[in-house]
Structure 1
Amino acid sequence: MIILGIVLAAAAVAVGVGVIAENSSSASIDIFGQHVPGVQTEGQVFAAGVLVAFVFMLGMGLAFLTLNRALRNRRELRDLREEHRESISTLEMEKQRLQRELARARGTAGETATTADDIRVAGRPAPDPVSSFFDRTD
């Protein structure tokens, strides 16, 4: 859409430059050597200029609106990524707290307490420990 807006604006500028460069009389329009039919009075020339200006403004407005929407989407995506990182870190801290509580609870039962943070394999934390249900000797 931004390209379409820029193309419309560029076409309007090209038509405006062509009209200014080619015209010698005040009541006709010649664009790049071609006469525009139906334009014979100064009012019609003015209306054609208004039309060209409208097309230029339409093209620029379309380009700016599209650019604004793209920037807003990028900003929202960046905010969502930051929010996601914060929630992940909060969840990781909660997980570590719960693992410490589990280790303390297992330690009071006379068992050896080891948390997932104590065991590392190739720089990654070990998987979650198995629940104490399977450690029973009854």
Structure 2
Amino acid sequence: MVFLGLLLAAAAVTAATGIILSNDGAATLTVFGETVPGVSNQWQIFMCGALVAVVFMAGMTMAFLGFGRLMRTRRDLRYLREEHEESLTTLEMEKRQLQRELARVRGTGGKPGAPAAPAAPARPSVPRQRGPRNGDTPLAGAAARSDFFDRKD
């Protein structure tokens, strides 16, 4: 969409330049060396200029909207990547904690007189961030195992 918007804006600038440089008569409109039929009054020439301006503004609007959408998508992907890394870090910490606890329990031999193993520690609290702008929740399961989140765009 950005490319199409810039293409329209460039076409409008090219047309306007052609109109300005090619018109030496008072009431004829010449574009790239060709006279435009049906245009014989000054107000018609003005309307052609207004039409070129409208096309230029439409092209620039499309370019800016496309750029904004691209930036939102990148920000959302960055957020998902960061959340994925946080969840992996949390899971790795829990795994190490459980491995230490298992090693400690195995070290006592599981004897009845041995002190009881403490309950599993509470999960460390990770501050929740605001989700993506469109209200979707981040994907879990298959998305958590994909290489998509490992890219550095």
When normalised by structure 1's length, the TM-score is 0.75
Alpha-carbon RMSD across the aligned residues, in angstroms, is 1.5
Partner Cα distance (1:110, 1:12) in 2: 82
Give the deviation of 1:25 after TM superposition.
2.4
Q: What 5-or-longer segments of structure 1 have no aligned partner?
A: 112-138
Partner Cα distance (2:20, 2:6) in 1: 21
Partner Cα distance (2:75, 2:26) in 1: 51
Give the deviation of 1:110 after TM superposition.
6.1
The residue aligned with 1:134 is none
Q: What 5-or-longer segments of structure 2 have no aligned partner?
A: 112-153
- Which residue identity does 1:55 align to in structure 2? V
The residue aligned with 1:77 is 77
Q: Deviations over 1:23-64 (max 9, x none)?
A: 112322101110111111122111111110011111111111
Question: What secondary structure is seen at the aligned counterpart in 1 of 2:107?
Answer: helix
Q: Runs of 4 or more off by more than 3 Å in structure 1?
A: none
Identity %: 57
| Greater relative contact order (Cα < 8 A, sep 6+) | 2
Partner Cα distance (1:84, 1:107) in 2: 34
Partner Cα distance (1:66, 1:51) in 2: 23
The residue aligned with 1:89 is 89
Question: What secondary structure is seen at the aligned counterpart in 2 of 1:28?
Answer: coil
Partner Cα distance (1:57, 1:92) in 2: 53
Give the deviation of 1:71 after TM superposition.
1.5
**Is residue 84 of structure 2 the alignment partner of residue 45 of structure 1?**
no
The residue aligned with 1:11 is 11
Larger radius of gyration: 1
The residue aligned with 1:24 is 24
- Which residue identity does 2:17 align to in structure 1? V
Q: How many pairs were matched up?
A: 111
When normalised by structure 2's length, the TM-score is 0.68
